[in-house]
Amino acid sequence: MGFKRRDISVTASPHELIVKATRQSKRRKRARKRPVMVRWTEFHNHDVYRRVELPDEIAVKAVVAKFTNGLLKIDAPKVAGKQRAA
């Protein structure tokens, strides 16, 4: 099972994008074996952290992230008129 929209955060700064996603799943099970009943609960944490350094400055206020059908698409336009430092 993948992430849902509420599990994902995207942070932008002029030269980087950071994507974080966290999901916790929980499973309970009971097994009846005579004369003892066995019960347990399992917790699993699924964390993703990606930091992408960008070669050119982006317009932070114009960054748009869309999550559709399990796919995260981030549009981060460059700042107009800025050139990459050599």
82 falls within a domain: no
Contact 74, 64 (CB under 8 A): yes
67 falls within a domain: yes
pLDDT in tens, 50-72: 999 999 999 999 999 999 988 99
84 falls within a domain: no
Number of domains in the chain: 1
pLDDT band at 3 (very low <50, low <70, confident <90, very high): confident
19 falls within a domain: yes
Q: What is the rounded CA–CA span in Å between residue 63 and residue 13?
A: 10
Q: What is the rounded CA–CA span in Å between residue 73 and residue 40?
A: 39
Q: What CATH number does the domain containing 15 carry?
A: 2.60.40.790
Encoding tokens for residue 36? Answer: 């003892």
Positive/negative CA dihedral, 23, 70, 20, 9: negative
pTM for this structure? Answer: 0.70
- Determine the structural domain holding residue 47 and report its residue range: 5-75
Q: What is the rounded CA–CA span in Å between residue 50 and residue 86?
A: 26
